Amino acid sequence: MTKPVQWGVLSTAAIAVNQVIPAMANANLTALRAVASRTLSKAETVATQFGIPEAYGSYDALLADPEIEAVYIPLPNGLHAKWSIRALRAGKHVLCEKPITVNAAEARELEAAREASDLYCLEAFASRFNPVQIQAVEIARSGVLGDLRFVHTIATFLMQTQDPDDVRLQADIGGGALYDIGCYAVDAQRLLAGRVPKTAWADMAWSERFDVDIAGTALLNYGDGLRGTLQWGFNAPWGGPFSLVGENGKLTGPYGWGAPKGEPAMLLQAGGATEAIPVEEGLNGYTAEVQDLSEAVRGLHAPAFETESLVANMRIIDACYASQRSGRAETV
């Protein structure tokens, strides 16, 4: 039997403890060997909770463990580039939480480190493994809609806290709604459009207290007649519908990326007919992204999103923030 890939987790962040570590238990060829925190007692608590063999009181100590082959990095956004590069240089494959960095310049540095290492470094967008999004992208690229003209994506949730210790509200480590939740709408739209836009114009609700964006809207111009709109925020309930319009038809997801049981996930209008498209539930997205990398490390296949640029999303996000500052459309 093929030996499971030995994983380590850098940080005891909530997304790791509540989502990814539990999901790892269901991923093929995956064994969680170690967890690290800057405070050893926190790492020991999580290790005990999940039966993880090793707990480390520093991230460097985990990276020095010769048994660990891959790491999951759920650190604050501003630390993603630094620790992803360190992990690659330590000989570990990397699955780093979105957004992969806080700007395109850092993303280019990370891509260069990945190329130099000959290891995998992937952005942890669990949404990319959502079966509705997968099928929507397939339809968008199939040609059934004709030349694409309009695309809309949205990502929101209602933040319940105004705690200044919440990393999502700390500007100096990459806080803000576009980084935290809007990046999902950016990534989904770029995959649906099949390319990077040429310009972005954005308008954001800005928190003077925290100096981060709380919500925003952006207009993206992809050229060749295709335009997109993005919405994101900490100020509305989870999710929202998406839509894609072409010269020959329209695809809508009235429930976003998750439809209630018994309801169609999408509606495809083309050729004078309307087709309700059901989508079966797939593997949990967090499980799927870990399993995808584990199977790739063992040579079963290439990672599903190996060819996706680490820079593309960050170019769009950079342009949106630049537009917020300038008040005009900015080049992506």
Catalytic (active-site) positions: 98
Q: Are 5 and 297 in contact (CB under 8 A)?
A: yes
Phi, psi of 111 (to 5 degrees): -60, -40
Helix (H, G, I), strand (E, B) or coil at 248: coil
* Contact between 243 and 252 (Cβ < 8 Å): yes
Q: Which residue has the tokens 């990814």?
A: 20
Any idea what DSSP says for residue 3? P
Task: Give dist(CA 254, CA 320) in Å, integer.
Answer: 26
> Rounded distance, CA 79 to CA 58, Å?
14
- Amino acid present at 241: P
Cβ atoms 319, 116 nearer than 8 A: no
Residue that is written with structure tokens 């999940």 in the block: 50
